[in-house]
Amino acid sequence: MKKKIPSIEQSMQAKGYSRRDFLYFCGVAAAAAGLSTTSLGQVVKAFETKPRPPVVWLHFQECTCCSESFIRSTHPIVADIIFDTLSLDYTETLMAPAGHQAEKSRDDTIKNNQGKYILLVEGSVPLGNPGFCMIGGKSAEQILKDAAAGAAAVVAWGSCASHGCVQSAKPNPTQATPIHKIIGKPVINVPGCPPIAEVMTAIVTHVLLFGKIPELDSQGRPKEFYSRRVHDTCYRRPYYDAGLFVESWDDDAARKGYCLYKMGCRGPVTYNACAVTKWNGNLSYPIQSGHGCIGCSEAGFWDNGPFYQHLGAFPGFGIESTADKVGTVATVATVGGIALHAITSNIRKQKLIRENMEESVTVHPFKGEGGADVEAAEAAKPEETKGGDE
C-alpha cells in the first residue's frame, strides 16, 4: 500500500517544530541556495506544498569523509535538512535497518517513488572486477544503475564519485570510475575530498526548493561554488601580487602569512569555495592554517606530483623530472651539439672556407671607398686619395 508523502512543513509539524521554526528554516534554506529575501515567499510555498522528497544515499569505494563532512554542517538547522526534512531512506552509514531490511528499504523507496527520489552517491565504482565492491550480493555498478534509472536528480558527492579520487590513481587497479561515466543522465558533481559541508547542504536545498538541478559548468559542477579559483578568493592573494612568498616552512615569511605559491599551493589551479565559505563554521581553511591547497577538488590531483611543488612528474621522463629539468637538459644537449657542429664544420668545410677567403679582395682603407671598381676610381681622381693615412 502506497503512503502519501507528507510535505516538508507537515513533516516538521509532526516532529514538533513550530510555524516560527519552519519560517526560520525557510529563510536559512533560501540563503543557502543563494536566493534573495524577495523570493522567500516562494520558498515557504514550496515547502508547504511539496512532498518531502525521499533520498537514497549510496556508498561505494570511498572513505565516508563526505558523510562526515555533511553531518558536520555547522548551522544546526541546515544539518536538519537531511535528518528531519529529507526522508533519508537508505544510507549505509546512518540508517536504522540492517541486512535484508536495509536492502528492502532501498528497493521499496526506488520502486514506490519512481522519478521522485534524490540519489546521492558517495564513492567511485570499480568496473575492473565487480568483486571489489559488492553490497548485498549486488555489484556497485548494478546498484548504481538500478538506483539512477528512476532518480529525479543524481548528485556525486566528493572527488571519488566526481573524478575517481585516490583509488583511481595510476595504474587504477580496480578501474575505479566516476559515476557520470556510468549512468546516462546529468550528474551534479560536487568534488572535494571531502566537499565543504555548506556547499553540500546548499546543493541539496537547491534541488529540494526548485525541483531541478542547479546551473552546472562544463564539468558538471555547480557554478555557484566552483566557478572561482581558490587563488582568486584567497585572503593571501595580495602577497602574491606583491611578490612576497614563503620560501620554506619555518621562515619569517611563513610566520607573516605570505603567499604559499612557492610551497606548491594548488590555489591557482583549483576551483572551489574554500576561501569564501571556509570550513568548520567559517573558521578557517587550509591556506589560512598555513598549509598550501592540495587541489583536492580538481580531477587528477592524486596523480599531479608532490604537493609541495608545482611541476611534478612528467609523463615519459621519470618521476622527479619537472618541465624545467627536461628543458635544461634539452638546452644543454643543444648547446653541446652546436659546439660539436661548429668544430666539425670548420674541419669539414676547410676547402669552402679557403675558397671564400680567395674570393675576398684587399681594399685600401680609403681608396676602396665609394666604388666597386677600385682601379677606375684611382685613375679618375688621383688627387683625392693623395696624402692618405700612409
Partner 1 sequence: MAANPQTIPYRRIYVWELPVRLYHWINALCILLLCISGYLIGNPQKIFAANEAYQQYWFGWVRFTHFAVAYVFVFNFIFRIYWGFVGNRYAKWDRFILYRWDQWKELWDTVLVDVLQARVYGRKIIGHNNLAGFSYFVLFHIFLLQTITGFALYSSMSDAFLPRLFTWIVPLLGGDAWVRQWHHLFMWFFIVFTVIHLYLVFYHDYFEGRGTTSSIIGGWKFERDDNIKR
Task: Please tell me whether residue 215 binds partner 1 under the rule CB under 8 A.
Answer: no
Cell 571531502 found at: 194
129: cell is 572486477
Task: Please tell me whether residue 242 binds partner 1 under the rule CB under 8 A.
Answer: yes
Residues in the chain: 390
User: Minimum distance from CB of 138 to partner 1 (Å)?
Assistant: 32
Task: Please tell me whether residue 255 binds partner 1 under the rule CB under 8 A.
Answer: no
Bridge-based pairing of strands 87-91 and 125-126 is: unpaired
Task: Please tell me whether residue 376 binds partner 1 under the rule CB under 8 A.
Answer: no
| Near partner 1 by CB under 8 A: residue from 40, 216, 269, 276 | 269
In this complex, which beta carbon is closest to partner 1, that of residue 41 or of residue 238? 238
Task: Please tell me whether residue 159 binds partner 1 under the rule CB under 8 A.
Answer: no
| Near partner 1 by CB under 8 A: residue from 18, 114, 282, 345 | 345
216: cell is 552546472
The order of strands in the sheet holding 187-190 is 87-91, 54-59, 118-122, 153-157, 187-190
Task: Please tell me whether residue 168 binds partner 1 under the rule CB under 8 A.
Answer: no
| Near partner 1 by CB under 8 A: residue from 254, 314, 367, 378 | 314
Backbone angle region of 153, left / alpha / beta, with phi > 0 → left and psi within -120 to 50 → alpha? beta
| Binding region for partner 1 (CB under 8 A) out of 17-25, 89-97, 102-110, 324-332 | 324-332
In this complex, which beta carbon is closest to partner 1, that of residue 147 or of residue 176? 176
In this complex, which beta carbon is closest to partner 1, that of residue 7 or of residue 321? 321
The per-type count for the chain, helices as H runs and strands as E runs, is: 18, 9
| Near partner 1 by CB under 8 A: residue from 25, 57, 225, 245 | 245
Task: Please tell me whether residue 344 binds partner 1 under the rule CB under 8 A.
Answer: yes
| Near partner 1 by CB under 8 A: residue from 18, 114, 282, 331 | 331
Task: Please tell me whether residue 93 binds partner 1 under the rule CB under 8 A.
Answer: no
Task: Please tell me whether residue 302 binds partner 1 under the rule CB under 8 A.
Answer: no
Q: Which of 195, 13, 53, 103 is nearest to 95 (CA)?
A: 103
- Contact criterion met (CB below 8 Å) for 40 and 93: no
Instruction: In whole angstroms, give the CA distance from residue 260 to residue 245.
Output: 6
In this complex, which beta carbon is closest to partner 1, that of residue 132 or of residue 271? 271
φ/ψ of residue 124, rounded to 5: -95, 165
- Reported for 32-39, long-range contacts at CB under 8 A and 24+ positions apart, including other chains, are 32/78, 32/198, 32/201, 32/202, 32/205, 33/202, 33/205, 33/206, 33/209, 33/210, 34/202, 34/206, 34/224, 35/209
Which residue ranges make up the site for partner 1 (CB under 8 A)? Answer: 218-219, 229, 232, 238-245, 247, 253, 261-262, 266, 268-271, 295, 298-301, 304, 310-311, 314, 323-324, 326-328, 330-331, 334-335, 338, 341-342, 344-345, 348-349, 351-353, 356-362
